[in-house]
Amino acid sequence: MAAVSIILLTNLLFLAPYKLWVEERAKREALEKPDVDSLKTRRNQLFEASSGLLTSTKAIFHEWSVSDVHKRGYLTRDYHAKHFRMSSLADNFLHEDDIYRAAQDAMNRCNIAKVDATEGLPNHNALQEAHEFTKILLLLLNADS
């Protein structure tokens, strides 16, 4: 009982503020990215962000069940930072329905795979769908390059 209390107290005192700081930093970095006028640069940024989100989703899918609490916390923070970045970058393509919709679909599929894995029910089909929808987005982003 004392060990559980110590762990909860440590999490509350040290890890909770750090988690908030990391999330705020990720949001700030996403918003502070320099405005880019080049469509190609924006496409490349979204390309990299979507690849990063898929990689983070795969890491959660493969490592969640064998990870300790600290590793799970890191995986979750990494996923949320990459999801926020991709979401921010996808908003630059509101005027391009096909790219915006493909980005939203890819993010949703990654989220489904992540939720399934974190709930202890890793679903290979969900991960495969996340991969396929991300691939569609990547093809759209490279189509005009």
pLDDT tier at 144, thresholds 50, 70, 90:
low
**Of the candidates 84, 85, 74, the residue with the CA atom closest to the CA atom of residue 19:** 74
Quote the percentage of the chain above a pLDDT of 70: 80
pLDDT (0 to 100) of residue 10: 65
DSSP for 104-128, please give it: HHHHHHHHHHHHHHHTT---HHHHH
For residues 134 and 126, give the distance between their C-alpha atoms in angstroms, rounded to a whole number. Answer: 12
Instruction: Using only the alpha carbons of the chain, give its radius of gyration.
Output: 17
pLDDT (0 to 100) of residue 13: 63
pLDDT (0 to 100) of residue 143: 72
pLDDT for 7-54, tens place per residue?
666 666 666 666 767 777 777 776 666 554 578 888 999 999 999 999
Higher pLDDT, 35 or 109: 109
pLDDT (0 to 100) of residue 12: 60
pLDDT (0 to 100) of residue 24: 78
pLDDT (0 to 100) of residue 99: 93
Is the overall model pTM greater than 0.75, yes or no?
Answer: no
For residues 102 and 138, give the distance between their C-alpha atoms in angstroms, rounded to a whole number. Answer: 9
pLDDT (0 to 100) of residue 48: 95
CA atoms within 13 A on the CB side of 104: 10
Please give the biggest Cα pair distance in the chain. Answer: 61
Domains annotated for the chain, with CATH where assigned, are: 2-143 (1.20.120)
> 98 vs 18, 51, 68, 89, 101, CA distance in Å?
37, 18, 40, 14, 5
Q: Is pLDDT above 80 for 107?
A: yes
